[in-house]
Chain A
Amino acid sequence: MNLEVFLLLAAALFSVGLYGALSQQSIVMLMMGLELMINALLVAGAAFWFYVSPGTPDGQVLVLVAVTVMALEMAMGFAVITALFRTRDVDMTDEAGHLKG
């Protein structure tokens, strides 16, 4: 058990989340992909704290920030979906391309 194992887990979670965020048509599923990517950050931050500098709590504070970001991302995401659904009856990413350049 060492740093590389945890970082590998983080990389795998990040890649799975990235696949979801890129491929899913439903906005809710896309947000699940984003959540998985932030989940990977939690693992990486905790592993860096434990294996690189456990003497200072910086890594723990970083994990705390990532957990907060995760919750805020979900709240804002659902608010945007609600607004989008209310005005345009849209819940798929392909139909929400109005800002496409």
Chain B
Amino acid sequence: METVAVWVLAVAAVGFGVAVFVVDSMARATFALLASFLCVGVELLLLDLDYLGVLVILMMIMEMLIMAVFMIMYMMNPGGLMPMTMVHNNRGALAISIGVFTALAAGIFLTPWPPRRGTVPADPTFSVGQAIMGPKMLVMMVIGIAILATMIASVVLATDRGRYDRPSHREDGAK
């Protein structure tokens, strides 16, 4: 039962991933990406990662809704009313990605993976919580600073005014 679910979700995740670059409409592409993320979230749930699976599902729903807004802002074809393709070097990209997949798949099946060490804890969420509040706290601190830096940097980049509150298109700083 679980094996079937894993395979169905895996095929669905890859299928929706392919659909992102196949469908005409940008909004549809965003929701295809969301579907792919949801499949991956459920795969994490099947791997006993209750917290991370739910985290991925909730975060990706929010992220893709924001992304849909940006899509509609920036795309010339948000509703998919006229079919168009926007690709460059399609054949090269296909060749590279198929080559990468072949190499990765060969690596996956040829590598002698180490045997399983330890057992799945009764509550994996508890163990990850203890880790990030204990021995792995440095990771959490770096993540926190990275989030803060991203917030500042994205506001600085996205705002109309440059540094020192001058309009970015006026070199002399006059308003």
Contacts and interface: CB of A to CB of B under 8 A. Distances in A.
B contact patch SS: helix
Nearest to A82: B158
Contact of B17 (A16, A56, A67): A16
A85 B108 CA distance: 42
B108 A23 contact: no
Interface in A1-53: 1, 3-9, 11-20, 22-29, 32-33, 35-36, 39, 42-43, 46-47, 49-53
A68 B146 contact: yes
B105 A11 contact: yes
Interface of A: 1, 3-9, 11-20, 22-29, 32-33, 35-36, 39, 42-43, 46-47, 49-58, 60-61, 63-65, 67-68, 70-72, 74-76, 78-83, 85-87, 91-94
Given A39-B17, A87-B168, 20 more contacts: A9-B14, A11-B104, A11-B108, A14-B104, A15-B104, A16-B97, A19-B97, A23-B21, A26-B75, A28-B70, A28-B71, A32-B21, A36-B33, A50-B48, A58-B136, A63-B44, A65-B143, A72-B150, A82-B158, A91-B75
Interface residues of B, number: 80
Contacts of B132: 61, 64
A72 B56 contact: no
B56 to A, nearest CB: 6
Given A15-B104, A60-B49, A91 B154 contact: no
A15 B100 contact: yes
Nearest to B55: A67
Given A9-B14, A55-B117, A57-B128, A22 B89 contact: yes
